[in-house]
Amino acid sequence: MPPIESFVTTDDGVRLFVRALGDGPRTVVMPNGFHLVDDFAFLARDRRLVVYDVRNRGRSEPIRDSAKLVRGIENDVDDLDVVRRYLGADTIDLIGHSYMGLMIAVYAMRYGTRVRRAVQIGPSEMTPGQAYPAHLSGDDDIRRDIFARLGQLQKELAGREPLERCLSFWTVLRELYVTDPADAHRITWGRCELPNERNFLNYWMEYVVASIKKLALGPAELAGVKVPVLTIHGARDRSAPYGAGREWAMRLGNARLVTVANGGHAPWIEAPDLVFGAIATFLDGGWPEIAQAVGSEESPALDG
């Protein structure tokens, strides 16, 4: 069936843009998943797959009132439950990539009875900027070169039109998300035609990062997540360090880790069969054979 698009109004009156594909008996929600929907459309064959633009992102309503932004991740967590209620689903499966991998974990802490299973892909670290050992950090010559070029580009584009700045920025940034820069053309996440996306960085730095730093993710809170969580992380992720994936899988109450040895921040690009197969197995109710319990944040250096 063709996708169904609509707007959902949050508890404080913000309109979020939502798209639903498929009409299966189970509902899988991917917050902020519009740029991933083509890659993950296979889930709609026997499920209802729902993606939506989170607050102040994508085609959701632009927000001028800082009072509706200041809560950052707390807004995103509560808004996800608004979407769930709108869908009429008692329980949902969740897939969160990058920052959304962090957000859905917090949602599972606050609304655990509403989650059946959750998948984190390349989840960001619990504390922004948290340091990990070198072989778990993703820091290498390619990463350093990308950030150097981004810094130079920022100087060169000062005063240019927002659309030009966004497009130019993404020509460099997309290399960060793959292991081999030759695959960078497959990252089409910029959505620069949308004003929310052109202005996202300011919102992220001023409100979202600050709100993440305020989270109290102690052992009791993390162990209290009883729903099964599958964490999938590329060992060569230059954006969200592999150490973060290991930490999530170790500290959550019922989690296992799938390591993509040559994977970057979008590990399905390097290993589509492994990643998509693991997700399908997990959402069907089992643990993938390659998923491992993690007893330590540390790991030996990985080859490949």
Encode pLDDT of 216-246 as tens digits: 888 888 888 999 999 999 999 999 999 999 9
262 near 271, Cβ under 8 Å? yes
Closest CA to 100 of 84, 83, 122: 122
User: Which DSSP category does 112 fall into?
Assistant: G
User: Which DSSP category does 33 fall into?
Assistant: -
Q: How far is CA 99 from each of CA 1, 76, 124, 159, 209, rounded to the nearest angstrom?
A: 30, 11, 5, 29, 10
In angstroms, how far is CA 71 from the centroid of its own chain? Answer: 18
Tokens representing 231 are: 């964490």
d(CA 108, CA 123) in angstroms, rounded, equals 14
Q: Give the number of other CB atoms < 10 A from CB of residue 218.
A: 10
pTM of the predicted model as reported, rounded to 2 decimal places: 0.94
Q: Which amino acid is at 200?
A: F
d(CA 37, CA 30) in angstroms, rounded, equals 9
Tokens representing 65 are: 């009132």
pLDDT tens-digit series, residues 36-46: 999 999 999 99
301 confidence band (pLDDT: 50, 70, 90): very low
pLDDT tens-digit series, residues 65-114: 999 999 999 999 999 999 999 999 999 999 999 999 999 999 999 999 99
Q: How far is CA 92 from each of CA 43, 73, 115, 118, 229, rounded to the nearest angstrom?
A: 14, 19, 5, 9, 13
Query: Which H or E element spans position 96?
Result: strand 92-97
CA angle 95, 98, 99 (to 5 degrees): 95
Q: Quote the pLDDT of residue 4.
A: 92
Sorted by where each starts, the structural domains of the chain and their CATH numbers stand as 4-136+206-283 (3.40.50.1820)
